[in-house]
Amino acid sequence: MRNYLAGETITFEAAAKTDGYLETDHSYSWSIDGSSYATNPKTHAFTAKGTYTPEVTATNTVTGGSAKAQVTINVVEPANTNWQV
């Protein structure tokens, strides 16, 4: 699991690997932080610390077949960099 800082922009990107079909024969639907998106790649910034599991569904637009994948990430608070003298 990889750590990201709260507020850091993360790029999520998927690529379908299917025998005999082009990448353009696929559409993607992302589910991130409770919202759905139809863009690939998708950028997102999590504002609160915690563990998140973004999910993507790849659909072959020729055959109608689909597959899902997900990744777990950990969002942490940024370190306090405010110095006071």
pLDDT at position 23 is: 78
Q: What is the DSSP string of 53-71?
A: --EEEEEETTT--EEEEE-
Are 41 and 76 in contact by the 8 Å Cβ rule? The answer is no
Q: How confident is the model at residue 84 (pLDDT cuts 50, 70, 90)?
A: low
pLDDT at position 80 is: 64
**What is the tens place of the pLDDT at every residue in 41-82?**
999 999 999 999 999 999 999 999 999 999 999 999 876 656
Task: Report DSSP state, residue 77.
Answer: P
**Residue 67 to residue 35: CA distance in whole angstroms:** 19
Q: Considering the entire predicted model, what is its pTM?
A: 0.78
